[in-house]
């Protein structure tokens, strides 16, 4: 294993490899100390990693809670159910009353587009795996479990868009959050806002953006509270395994590690 030191040539090389614009926030935070900025960059990676587990849990728990309620409303194969398809079709063509004039900046809910593209991608992969002459028992058709697992976080948050409130949330999707405020009159907006916020935070981490100025304790609380809305056991699980306290404690240490 090669030795390493923050000498002048190494700092110059790493700055070039990371890029000066990307390193700028860390350099500002480190008061111009390039070695400290690079080390802080490593800490930022570690801080992001502390959220991989909690984000994984909230995304999967959220997804499965929604799947359970959609199954109750439209049968377990809800994604191909005619009633659900009609709901999604109507939503794609709707423009809420509070949308900008002409709908210029309004992006309608695109549930069907995402379901179709996801299903087609899965089936292309299955067909490629099966080959030209599939062996008996090798399937080439996507199952509901395949589709549910492959739909991204953005799809599930779309289910709580304003235009779908009367046809999904109020009809039963609210039951995905029994610990939020049981009953069909529990407000949708805080749920939509929370999960969209978590989705944007997730994207920030997955794109390796700076976390230096964020209140990471609040970010973790947002995740655990959202888990608690679905089931307290999920929230307790996240809290029990979280390494965030140690990561925050070590921020001002002399040397960071991934």
pLDDT tens per residue, the chain (258 residues)?
678 999 999 999 999 999 999 999 999 999 999 999 999 999 999 999 999 999 999 999 999 999 999 999 999 999 999 999 999 988 876 544 444 444 444 345 789 999 999 999 999 999 888 887 766 667 889 999 999 999 999 999 999 999 999 999 999 999 999 998 767 778 999 999 999 999 999 999 999 999 999 999 999 999 999 999 999 999 999 999 999 999 999 998 878 888
pLDDT of residue 134: 67
Closest CA to 175 of 56, 87, 71: 71
Alpha-carbon distance of 243 to 105, in angstroms, equals 40
Alpha-carbon distance of 57 to 235, in angstroms, equals 9
Tell me if 214 sits within 8 A of 50, measured CB to CB: no
DSSP per residue over 161-180, as a string? SGGGIIIIITTTGGGG-TTT
Closest CA to 65 of 163, 167, 172: 172
């Amino acid at each position: 294993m090669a030795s390493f030191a923050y000498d002048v040539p190494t700092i110059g090389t790493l700055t070039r490899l990371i890029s000066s614009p990307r390193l700028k926030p860390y350099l500002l935070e480190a008061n111009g100390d390039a070695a400290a900025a690079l080390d802080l960059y490593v800490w930022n990676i570690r801080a992001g990693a502390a959220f991989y587990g909690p984000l994984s849990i909230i995304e999967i728990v959220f997804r499965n809670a929604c799947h359970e309620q959609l199954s109750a409303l439209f049968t377990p194969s809800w994604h191909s159910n005619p009633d659900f398809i009609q709901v999604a079709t109507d939503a794609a063509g709707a423009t809420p009353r509070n949308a900008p004039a002409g709908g210029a900046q309004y992006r309608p809910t695109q549930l069907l587009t995402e379901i179709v593209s996801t299903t087609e991608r899965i089936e292309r992969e299955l067909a490629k795996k099966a080959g030209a002459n599939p062996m008996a028992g090798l399937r080439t058709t996507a199952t509901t479990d395949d589709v549910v697992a492959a739909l991204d976080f953005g799809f599930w948050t779309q289910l709580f868009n304003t235009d779908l409130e009367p046809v999904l949330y109020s009809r039963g999707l609210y039951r995905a959050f029994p610990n939020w405020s049981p009953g069909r009159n529990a407000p949708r907006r805080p749920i939509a806002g929370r999960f969209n916020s978590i989705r944007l935070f997730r994207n920030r981490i997955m794109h390796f953006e700076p976390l230096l100025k964020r209140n990471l304790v609040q970010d973790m609380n947002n995740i655990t509270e959202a888990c608690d809305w679905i089931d307290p056991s999920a929230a307790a699980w996240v809290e029990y395994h979280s390494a965030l306290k140690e990561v925050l404690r070590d921020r001002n240490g002399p040397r960071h590690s991934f």
